[in-house]
Amino acid sequence: MHFKRMSIESESPEEMGYASIQYNLAESSVRDIYFRDLQINLDEVFLCYAEHRGNIALRNEIVKNEKDLSADDVLVCPSAATALFIISTTLLNDKDHLVVLRPNYATNIETPRAINCEISFIDLQFESGFQLDIEQIKNAVKPNTKLISLTSPHNPTGVVFDNKILEEIIAFATERNINVLVDETYRYLNFQRDMMPYYAAKSDKVISVCSLSKAHGTPGIRTGWLITKNKKLQHDFLAAKEQIIICNSVVDEAIALHILQQENYLQKTHEHIRKNFSVLKNWMDIEQHYLEWIRPNAGVVCFPRIKKEYTVDTKKFYTILYEQFKTFVGAGHWFEQADHYFRLGFGYPTEEELQQGLKNIDASIEASIVSS
């Protein structure tokens, strides 16, 4: 395998330096918390090798609301990113074919590229509300298709795909003996409705992925998981995990368990997101006029674009936004899209930071318009 750095990572806020960014509208998560905020005592954590599948109490907690899944279906991984790496490297080789959404979280595309498998992209279109076209997915499938890779709630658009359509894709793939990855990393950010059961419950061809990085404010504990009812896949994924890391950090697992045991942990977070979302809606629909968007229905990101009638020097736009206004968004090229699209994160900033950051976007576009 040959690895290339992805621009979403090399240009990420943590690599740029958080101190250089005052208005961080680039994140796909809520604000990170401090260890002290958790008020957890770790004195009794025994610093041994942990159970390889993950702490059993943690695995039980992960599926506690799932009537069709058990702890045996869960493999705790050091982050969703690692789970995705394990899934791609286990299921795909250079003779295989993958069907994957684009735009997407870059790893869902870049690891299969490093494997050098054949890839068919399902390019989501702004004009279609970034919705899935099921016929396009069916038509993309070939005899050597090993995996259909979906992300919902979706990054970077914040769109939640229609449950019926996802179920139809899963039924189609199950019949064809093709695995389906549903990257559900944003499921806890479903702030407008009740959380759906994991798609892994629907078929043993499905693998769901999630983590504590986006809603819980704890990407630094690098704790995620994959879920599948398929025993053979569980075995193979565990073998891959054991070769990479053997087991998770017991400290991280203890923190993860503590977080998931708090009944109302996400209540304040969801209130904050709803408030910021209404600020964003007001700004997008009423106050500004350079941008158009597809309204997200979950997550804390959306993927607006500069309207075609404005010719903007996008390089200048991002430079002014960052250097002059200390404001950061996720450029379109992070997602293999043109740079007049960008990912705008509304969960990480405070309400005041969001309001100012949005004004800064407006001013930066204005300063970058190319006059004809």
Q: Which is nearer to ligand PLP, 28 or 208 (CB)?
A: 28
Q: How far is the CB of 90 from ligand PLP (least distance, A)?
A: 17
Q: How far is the CB of 124 from ligand PLP (least distance, A)?
A: 14
Residue with token string 């043993």? 204
Q: Which is nearer to ligand PLP, 214 or 355 (CB)?
A: 214
Q: Which is nearer to ligand PLP, 96 or 183 (CB)?
A: 183
Cβ burial 89-120 (10 Å sphere, 16+ → b, else e): bbbbeeebbbbbbebbbbbbbbbbbbbebbbb
Q: Other C-beta atoms within 10 Å of 191: how many?
A: 20
Reduced to 3 states, what is the DSSP secondary structure of residue 369? Answer: strand
What does the alpha-carbon distance between residue 254 and residue 41 come to, in Å, rounded to a whole number?
10
Q: Which is nearer to ligand PLP, 254 or 306 (CB)?
A: 254
| 119 in Cβ contact with 113 (< 8 Å) | yes
Tokens representing residue 359 in the block: 């004004």
Q: Which is nearer to ligand PLP, 88 or 213 (CB)?
A: 213
User: What is the Cα 316 distance to its own chain's centre?
Assistant: 28
Q: How far is the CB of 247 from ligand PLP (least distance, A)?
A: 17
Q: How far is the CB of 27 from ligand PLP (least distance, A)?
A: 9
Cα R_g (the chain), whole angstroms:
21
What does the binding site for ligand PLP look like in residue numbers (CB under 6 A)?
28, 79-81, 105, 151, 155, 183, 185, 211, 213, 219, 224
| 131 in Cβ contact with 161 (< 8 Å) | yes
Q: How far is the CB of 9 from ligand PLP (least distance, A)?
A: 10
User: What is the Cα 202 distance to its own chain's centre?
Assistant: 21
What does the alpha-carbon distance between residue 172 and residue 273 come to, in Å, rounded to a whole number?
35
Q: How far is the CB of 155 from ligand PLP (least distance, A)?
A: 4
Q: Which is nearer to ligand PLP, 219 or 347 (CB)?
A: 219
